[in-house]
């Protein structure tokens, strides 16, 4: 499992344990066309290079009565120039957004996208 997936799993499990009555779901980004064998908490999957997939994910989250979204960001996991497809998703969300960036080397265009993501 990639470090970002481990962090997301640990965070989801901690939140679910603290608030067992709440639904705590996950929306991963797939880099394979067929996706992966995910556990039940994965309720929607984003196709990495498909911009409309990010917009459909935003629609799904908006109509699923989600209270907050936590975006786990690592350079290179989102589609679009410098991973900018995730910005389309964030612009459409109608709930508070938390953001956690994994450490790693970033090119200038990745830093610019991350700065826009954080605003």
Domains of the chain, by residue range, sit at 3-118
- The more confident residue out of 41 and 77 is 41
Residue 111: per-residue pLDDT: 56
Segment 4-47, tens digit of pLDDT: 578 888 999 999 999 999 989 999 999 998 889 999 999 999 99
> Above 80 in pLDDT, residue 116?
no
Residues 6+ apart with CB under 8 A from 93: 58, 61, 62, 69
Residue 72: per-residue pLDDT: 83
> Above 90 in pLDDT, residue 61?
yes
Segment 83-99, tens digit of pLDDT: 889 999 999 999 999 87
Tokens standing for 102? 């994994």
Residue 45: per-residue pLDDT: 95
The dihedral sign for the CA sequence 109, 107, 35, 95: negative
């Amino acid at each position: 499992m990639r470090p970002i997936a481990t962090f997301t799993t640990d965070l989801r499990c901690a939140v679910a344990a603290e608030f067992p009555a709440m639904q705590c779901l996950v929306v991963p980004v797939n880099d394979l066309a067929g996706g992966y064998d995910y556990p039940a908490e994965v309720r929607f999957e984003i196709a990495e290079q498909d911009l409309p997939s990010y917009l459909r994910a935003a629609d799904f989250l908006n109509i699923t009565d989600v209270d907050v979204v936590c975006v786990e960001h690592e350079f290179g996991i989102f589609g679009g120039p410098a991973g900018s497809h995730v910005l389309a998703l964030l612009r459409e969300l109608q709930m508070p957004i938390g953001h956690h960036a994994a450490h790693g080397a970033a090119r200038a265009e990745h830093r610019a996208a991350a700065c826009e993501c954080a605003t």
